[in-house]
Chains A and B, each alone.
Chain A
Amino acid sequence: MNRFSYSRPGNVDTAVGELTRHEGAKFIAGGTNLLDLMKENVERPNHLIDINHLALKTIEDTEDGGLRLGALATNADTAYNDKVESRYPLLSQAILAGASAQLRNMATNGGNLFQRTRCYYFYDTGTPCNKREPGSGCGAFNGFNRIHAILGTSDENPETRCIATHPSDMAVALAALEAIIRVTGPNGERTVPIADFHRLPGNEPWLDTTIQPGELVTAIDLPAKGFPDYYAYIKLRDRQSYAFALVSVAVGLEIENNQITDARIALGGVAHKPWRKPEAEAMLVGKTVTEADFQSVAETILSGAKGYGHNTFKIELAKRAIVRALQRAAKTETES
């Protein structure tokens, strides 16, 4: 790990000011991703700004019937919060499907959004990686890419190629819930819908999010609609617990008199950001639970998917996971 200096600001403005003034500095929250990457020399900040003493740990109701999750509330405190459990059980489940109990006690909601890809080549400074070192190439494209993306990749130009996935479980549920991220920066406050928070690699795979230098995430706002009655989070991975998703699916449905009135489907483990396809969701609205064709919905979401060899199995796996998650959310799942 490189050497760095350390500070512990007591309020948001000081924290933002320090980051803006100090080139090469980074915020540290739970530290579970940043310190891991610093030990691998992938991240090399020269100054760490410890934001754990900012008053951003609360979880409280918003005026429009939603819930505001403080950026520094831990993943554990969020998943086990009474209001989150009763009004947004999809989010609780997704968070609890991630990492381990110890890590969830440390990981914060803000840090979770910024966690970086688990691509092995990104972690290995001896190999090329456009995300870590712009223009150096992509080790995964012709390498071991079992955990890599099948949708929204950047695979043409060798110097901007990237087929990495975003590893967060929490973000997949937030995408289905259409959360709004609250940000404070040198130019004041702004809000970013979760759909615009993470980005596809495009020509700049080194950028994971649309957040600007100097900006601090202060909270995540959940809109009132939480799909507490019909929801499912399915995470498929190499072992039953404590592993990242190969494919995950978050589903929220609203069903009245057996008719689907709203549907949200978000996928994890398949792209550089949580993946949604509004056309596919629209195919469900107005249908009764029995007439809805979950298989066509799955086909639509995966249209344009492309495998790179080791990860090609994810295309079929994702389709089956979507069908299963829809059945589970609609409560039509049969034992198999």
Chain B
Amino acid sequence: MRTTLSPETDASPTTLPEKTTIQLTINGSVHHLELAPWTSLLDALREYLHLTGTKKGCDHGQCGACTVLVDGKRINSCLTLAIMKEGAEITTIEGLAGENGLHPLQTAFIEHDAYQCGYCTPGQICSAVGLMNEGRAKTTDDIRELMSGNICRCGAYPHIVDAIQEVMKIDPKA
């Protein structure tokens, strides 16, 4: 079914900029991209930079698969525009491993078998890095509550919580 579009808000494409050059800093390197203003950060990462680790689940902020870190804070990359993040430091799952190998959370996810299909995993891990940066989770219940923005369709939650708990050194009984 179609919506009727009111003329005053239906902008004429000819008067609009098709693309602008946008500078994004991703995993430490600077990229210059020709993007339309309506490109989400998620689409910029996946379709233009081919950083396909970040996943598109719902595209509406409801699943957390697209979670990335912007200046160290976790956000949903599907609900922000790439052009709004000019000048920010963006970290994706591809940028978490360092010189000494995998990020401790990546290792813990492997050791705890914290995934089945793996689709939600990059978002879960980036979200958990954000959780640790925030420093608010003190108990297992806190981890569950503060990770609720990441849905796992396979239901790997118990192992995900175990992995995070271990890296955060939270007593499982706390």
Residues of A within 8 A of B (CB): 1-6, 23-24, 28, 30-32, 35-36, 39, 41, 44-48, 50, 52, 76, 80, 99-103, 105-106, 125-126, 133, 240-242
Q: Which of B118-166 contact A (CB under 8 A)?
A: 127, 130-131, 134, 136, 144-150
Q: What is the number of contacts between chain A and chain B, taking CB atoms within 8 Å?
A: 118
**Contact mask for chain B residues 2-13; partner A; CB cutoff 8 A; 1 contact, 0 none:** 111110111101
Q: Assuming A4-B16, A133-B4, is B9 touching A36 (CB within 8 A)?
A: no
Chain B positions within 8 Å of A47 at CB level:
11
Q: Is the CB of A102 within 8 A of B3?
A: no
- B26: min CB distance to chain A, Å: 18
Q: B80's closest neighbor in chain A, by CB?
A: A31
Q: Is the CB of A100 within 8 A of B16?
A: no
Cβ-based interface call for B31 (8 A): no
Interface size on B, residues (CB 8 A): 45
Chain B positions within 8 Å of A242 at CB level:
148-149
Q: Is the CB of A31 within 8 A of B79?
A: yes
In the bound assembly, the distance between CA atoms of A246 and B130 in angstroms comes to 29
Q: Is the CB of A102 within 8 A of B134?
A: no
- B79 contacts which of A32, A46, A80 (Cβ < 8 Å)? A32
- B33: min CB distance to chain A, Å: 15
Cβ-based interface call for B61 (8 A): yes
Q: Is the CB of A100 within 8 A of B17?
A: no
Q: Is the CB of A102 within 8 A of B127?
A: yes
Task: Specify the main secondary structure of chain A where it touches its partner.
Answer: loop
Chain A positions within 8 Å of B64 at CB level:
100, 102
Cβ-based interface call for B59 (8 A): yes
Q: Is the CB of B75 within 8 A of A106?
A: yes
Q: Is the CB of A101 within 8 A of B130?
A: yes
Chain B positions within 8 Å of A1 at CB level:
38
Q: B13's closest neighbor in chain A, by CB?
A: A3
Q: Is the CB of A39 within 8 A of B84?
A: no
15 contacts between A and B (CB under 8 A): A2-B38, A3-B38, A6-B17, A6-B37, A35-B80, A36-B61, A44-B9, A100-B148, A101-B74, A101-B146, A102-B67, A102-B149, A106-B75, A125-B1, A126-B3
Q: Is the CB of A4 within 8 A of B37?
A: yes
Chain A positions within 8 Å of B1 at CB level:
125-126
Q: Which of B47-89 contact A (CB under 8 A)?
A: 59-61, 64, 67, 73-76, 79-81, 83-84
Q: Assuming A5-B37, A101-B74, A102-B64, is B5 touching A44 (CB within 8 A)?
A: yes
